[in-house]
Amino acid sequence: MMFLEVEAIVMGRLLVPFDGSENAKRALQHAIDMAKTSPLIELHIVRAFELPTMRDDDSSILDAKAHHEQYLSPAIEIAQAAGVRFTGEILVGSAAKAVVDYANRVGCEGIVMGTRGMGAVGNLLLGSIATKVLHLAKVPVTLVN
């Protein structure tokens, strides 16, 4: 397992994007391990997805959110079992932008994410979403492989 960690987070909010991939599961576990070291750390576990452009009415958004909750549910169960402070949320929008916007909006002190997710296309060493988050984020990003 490889960790690329910018700096340690001892308090505050950690954002954990989760897509159900093995790397995302390892990233979640790493974030949980960090949260167990301090009761001042709260995990924000999110699943981001983009709506198809042809359907953007309220019912399609609700249907899509319900569909994507199945990806978030295992992460929520893991965090509950670990006994750490957390919240879970479904984000709508381009994954990297939605993750960074959420981190900025809620004041996350760091982002912990897998290097590659479930997407079919990725970069050689890092997935395309991880690469974009690294470039867009204004907070430290921990990448877990």
Give the pLDDT of residue 67. Answer: 74
At 16, which helix (H) or strand (E)? Answer: strand 12-17
Cα of 26 vs its chain's centroid, Å: 12
Q: Which domains does the chain have, with CATH numbers?
A: 3-144 (3.40.50.620)
CA distance 27 to 110: 13
pLDDT of the chain along its 145 residues, tens only? Answer: 544 444 455 679 999 999 999 999 999 999 999 999 998 999 999 999 887 665 556 666 667 777 778 889 999 999 999 999 999 999 988 999 999 999 999 999 999 999 875 544 444 445 789 999 999 999 999 999 8
Contacts of 9 (CB under 8 A, 6+ apart): 34, 41, 109, 110, 140
Cα of 107 vs its chain's centroid, Å: 14
CA distance 7 to 16: 16
Contacts of 52 (CB under 8 A, 6+ apart): none
Give the pLDDT of residue 53. Answer: 63
Whole-model pTM: value is 0.83
